[in-house]
Structure 1
Amino acid sequence: MLASKSIKMSKEQVSTFPNADELLDRMRKMSEDESLWKKSKTDSGVDIFEGKVSTKYRQFRGVGYVDQPLATMVSVVKDAEKRKQWNEQMMGNEVVEDISEHVKVIHSKFNGGAASNRDFCVFYTDHLSDTEYIDAQTSIIHEKCPVMKGFVRATCLISGTRMIAESPTRTKVFYLGQVDLGGMVPSFVANIVNMKQPLCIARMRDFAMKDAASSSSVPSSASTSPQEEKQNEEK
């Protein structure tokens, strides 16, 4: 169910949510099925693939690795303050409807830079195990998430992140995206933006590595004070 000007929905359709398990299964399949993709390039350590099926708004997949534990990478994605640091365009997320711990309707707002700001109303779901984290989202229409003044309502056909623990200290990261920016943006411009989205993996990686380095450099509360060091020298 997609929120698009070309799609007219009845009240019954608007109130019906996608199946969360099916959306996650689709995301998992799209991340791992190599037959769906053709490689476009490698940029900043991220392999970028384009969907083989030709559509108006192209699907893109990114694959990269981060030398950090899965738990660290999950916090990079799910912590709102951390996310704003590696995704500078994000203006904020608001939970419109809290369906369950792992299923929500979210209103996301993004800075459009030189273009108009964009927002999305999405059905979001995630799942975490000891070896995998996965989330997925798709646009819906929701009565508590109307079009806002100052924003162009964009449509997320599907996007999400999948992270797999390769080892206790190394995580494989997938990102998938397919977005219609809405407004007067032609599809070829939207596809240029779509192709750049998987580079968020590089931004996640760089933030996680920098954050880990700064955390390890913070002195322990049990470290020796300058006064104690001077007393030890006198001894």
Structure 2
Amino acid sequence: MQLGEVRVAEDADFQQFRSLCEEQDGWKSEVNRSTVQVWTKNNDKCAFKMVKVRSVLKDVSAATMYDVLHDSDYRKAWDKSMVEGYEICAINPNNDIGYYALKCTPFKNRDFVTQRSWLDLGSEYMIFNHSVNHEKCPPKKHMVRGVSHLTGYLIRPEASGGCQLTYLSQSDPKGRLPSWAVNKLTHILAPKVISRIHKAAKNYNSWKSRNNPHKKPWLFPEQISLPKLDMRQIKPMTISASDDAIDESSLKEGEFKEEDFNHAADDI
């Protein structure tokens, strides 16, 4: 899907996402640990590299992970980096549009408006998004509006009962960030994304049993209560000049302690 395009995701869109998660050509290994692997790849969408993170989680089923990544009520409980997040409207039972704002210490906070698409094949689950422009969520003065070209998760069951989780992000945080920060985002924050989600997933079933245990609109479309998409509210994908004009590149690495990034990573 193209940036700003709003439509129902097709088989070809899911195949494209799956292929990016599976392919190896052109990807550079950045982190190779027993628990997590991180790769990066140059792309023609923006100056920031694509990032791919993979881990096998032996104690979380694929179905549970799929629920965790969908459940917006639970996200409010575990996602400490979230400033604000909500769904705006439903396109169909497998596509919606939502808003997400996150803390980006020590830099300015970022926010995103995206169309999210998902597919449950039983043998694997996919959730991905791309940025769109909805009139209910114009850019905010105190936020930098980021752009997601393609960001999402591929979840596959493991024979052991656990799952393999792949996170892929082709995003542009906009503004001007120093190169040292981008390096830390890859090597510190990217693995922490998986770690934080893993921790949340282990606690999900217990939490869900006490909080609307039968509410899962991503599985039961009859539970969807969002307003339907009104295409008149979809605007051309234009990026405010002030987003790119925000220059944080002069911030020096020595001005921040390593703990600043570890704390930020722990918030994800």
Indicate the TM-score class for this superposition, using the shorter chain for normalisation: 0.7 to 0.9
When residues 180 and 19 of structure 1 are mapped into structure 2, their CA distance, relative to the original with a 3 A threshold, is same
Q: Pairwise CA RMSD of aligned residues?
A: 2.7
Corresponding residue for 1:218?
A: none
Corresponding residue for 2:140?
A: 148
Q: Is the 8 A contact 1:177 1:198 kept in 2?
A: no
Give, in angstroms, the shift of residue 79 of structure 1.
1.5
After TM superposition, the structure 1 stretch with the greater mean CA deviation from structure 2, 65-74 or 76-85, is: 76-85
Q: Is the 8 A contact 2:72 2:86 kept in 1?
A: no
The answer to whether structure 1 residue 208 and structure 2 residue 222 are counterparts is: no
When residues 64 and 177 of structure 1 are mapped into structure 2, their CA distance, relative to the original with a 3 A threshold, is same
Corresponding residue for 1:177?
A: 169
Using structure 1 for the length normalisation, give the TM-score: 0.75
Q: Which of 60, 64, 75 is matched with 2:51 structurally?
A: 60
Corresponding residue for 1:27?
A: 17
Q: Is the 8 A contact 1:180 1:187 kept in 2?
A: no
Give, in angstroms, the shift of residue 113 of structure 1.
2.8
1:1-235 to structure 2, matched below 5 A, reads: 1-2=2-3, 16-17=5-6, 20-21=9-10, 22-42=12-32, 45-51=35-41, 56-67=47-58, 68-167=60-159, 169-186=161-178, 189-190=181-182, 192-194=184-186, 196-210=189-203
Give, in angstroms, the shift of residue 177 of structure 1.
0.8
Question: Partners in 1 of 2:129 and 2:186 — Cα distance?
Answer: 15
Question: Partners in 2 of 1:145 and 1:166 — Cα distance?
Answer: 39
Question: Partners in 1 of 2:110 and 2:89 — Cα distance?
Answer: 20
Q: Deviations over 1:8-28 (max 9, x none)?
A: xxxxxx6x4256124322211
When residues 190 and 181 of structure 1 are mapped into structure 2, their CA distance, relative to the original with a 3 A threshold, is farther
Corresponding residue for 2:242?
A: none
Q: Is the 8 A contact 2:28 2:39 kept in 1?
A: yes
Q: Deviations over 1:145-166 (max 9, x none)?
A: 2112321111112110010011
Question: Partners in 2 of 1:63 and 1:182 — Cα distance?
Answer: 25
Q: Is the 8 A contact 2:42 2:49 kept in 1?
A: no
Q: Deviations over 1:162-188 (max 9, x none)?
A: 100112611010000122112333566
Question: Partners in 1 of 2:8 and 2:180 — Cα distance?
Answer: 31
Report the secondary structure of 1:35's partner residue: coil
Percent of residue pairs identical: 24
Report the secondary structure of 2:158's partner residue: strand
Q: Is the 8 A contact 1:60 1:198 kept in 2?
A: no
Give, in angstroms, the shift of residue 125 of structure 1.
0.4
Give, in angstroms, the shift of residue 37 of structure 1.
1.8
Report the secondary structure of 2:112's partner residue: strand
Point out where structure 1 has 5 or more consecutive residues left out of the alignment. 3-13, 216-235
Question: Partners in 1 of 2:21 and 2:170 — Cα distance?
Answer: 13
Pair member with larger Rg: 1
Q: Is the 8 A contact 2:81 2:102 kept in 1?
A: yes
Q: Is the 8 A contact 2:68 2:74 kept in 1?
A: yes
Point out where structure 2 has 5 or more consecutive residues left out of the alignment. 208-268
When residues 49 and 92 of structure 1 are mapped into structure 2, their CA distance, relative to the original with a 3 A threshold, is same
